[in-house]
Amino acid sequence: MSNESTQHWVLTLSCPDRPGIVHAVTGVLAQHNGNITESQQFGDPLTNTFFMRVEVATTTDANRISVALAPVAEEFDMTWRLDAAGRPVRTIIMVSKAAHCLNDLLFRQRAGDIPIEVAAVVANHMDLKPLADFYEVPFIYLPVSKETKTEAERELVRLVNDLDVELVVLARYMQILSDELCSELSGRVINIHHSFLPSFKGAKPYHQAHARGVKLIGATSHYVTGDLDEGPIIEQDVERVDHGRSAEELVTLGQDVERRVLARAVRWHAEHRVLLNGQRTVVFK
């Protein structure tokens, strides 16, 4: 059953690098009247891995293309995925008290800049409920204490499953996830760290930065792994500061960088532009 109207698909794949991959993949697309509108690729000589992202416009439905791609994927030992371009990714945003990242993500989502669908805002404090209400997004209060942490994480996993959630964004969420949770949601949790990693890991990075007298402060968005602040980096940016800024002013200035960096990382992830390459990422902007 084919759909006669043109649709846009995103194909992402990675596999061991060898000659002929692009020709084989584009052959399948050409046979199904696919017109490639965007294509990027990268062969990593260190890991001998090939990465590719293709956007294609076609009147053929995804099912047929998938069936035709399967033997090619098999032949080249590919990890691959075909998705509708622009399909909103089901997302949970986790927050504590700081509003700037949540405000930014919800604003951009509504403006159509980030293809996500916010299934819920999950918070360990009540402060940001009015903001979630304004954007008509379900707000779920999930307090966390030493005693309740395990249960709270189980509840989060239940939410992820029940709400068909594909992505969890830690938008200045001030709790550290357990190793078990990190493993379970591996590659699906994005965090914003308020420093230019690997500088100033851990707590109060702006105060560390101030004490060290750096001339630029930064923020880093990365996938969360069990190894705190060591997950694969998706995006980073910096802002210039000078000797006159107090640690508290760095905190305020840094919020601009944090929200910008997190918004980019979430958008690129939701557009299937970020592929994992061991401890690093390939980002097809």
Q: Which residues bind a second copy (CB under 8 A)?
A: 17-20, 22-23, 26-27, 29-30, 33-45, 99-100, 103, 107, 111, 113, 130, 134, 196-200, 211-216, 218, 232-238, 242-244, 246, 252, 256, 260, 277, 279-283, 285
Contact between 196 and 218 under an 8 Å Cβ cutoff? The reply is yes
Active site residue 229: yes
Closest separation in Å from C-beta 243 to a second copy: 5
Tell me whether residue 3 or residue 279 sits nearer to a second copy (CB atom).
Answer: 279
Two tokens, residue 60 = 């053929």
Closest separation in Å from C-beta 38 to a second copy: 8
Give the three-class secondary structure for 233. Answer: strand
Closest separation in Å from C-beta 172 to a second copy: 13
Catalytic residue among 229, 237, 242, 256: 229
Tell me whether residue 115 or residue 165 sits nearer to a second copy (CB atom).
Answer: 115
Closest separation in Å from C-beta 113 to a second copy: 6
* Cα separation, 264 vs 105, whole angstroms: 10
Tell me whether residue 20 or residue 143 sits nearer to a second copy (CB atom).
Answer: 20
Tell me whether residue 160 or residue 206 sits nearer to a second copy (CB atom).
Answer: 206
Tell me whether residue 166 or residue 256 sits nearer to a second copy (CB atom).
Answer: 256
In sign, the C-alpha dihedral spanning 107, 110, 113, 116 is positive
* Cα separation, 188 vs 167, whole angstroms: 5
The answer to whether the bond into 198 is cis (omega within 30° of 0) is yes
Length of the chain in terms of residues written? 285
In sign, the C-alpha dihedral spanning 158, 89, 232, 282 is positive
* Cα separation, 161 vs 240, whole angstroms: 42
* Cα separation, 145 vs 120, whole angstroms: 21
* Cα separation, 163 vs 23, whole angstroms: 39
Closest separation in Å from C-beta 143 to a second copy: 24
Residue with tokens 């819920």: 120
Helices and strands per DSSP (H, E), number in the chain? 8, 13
Residues with a known catalytic role? 229
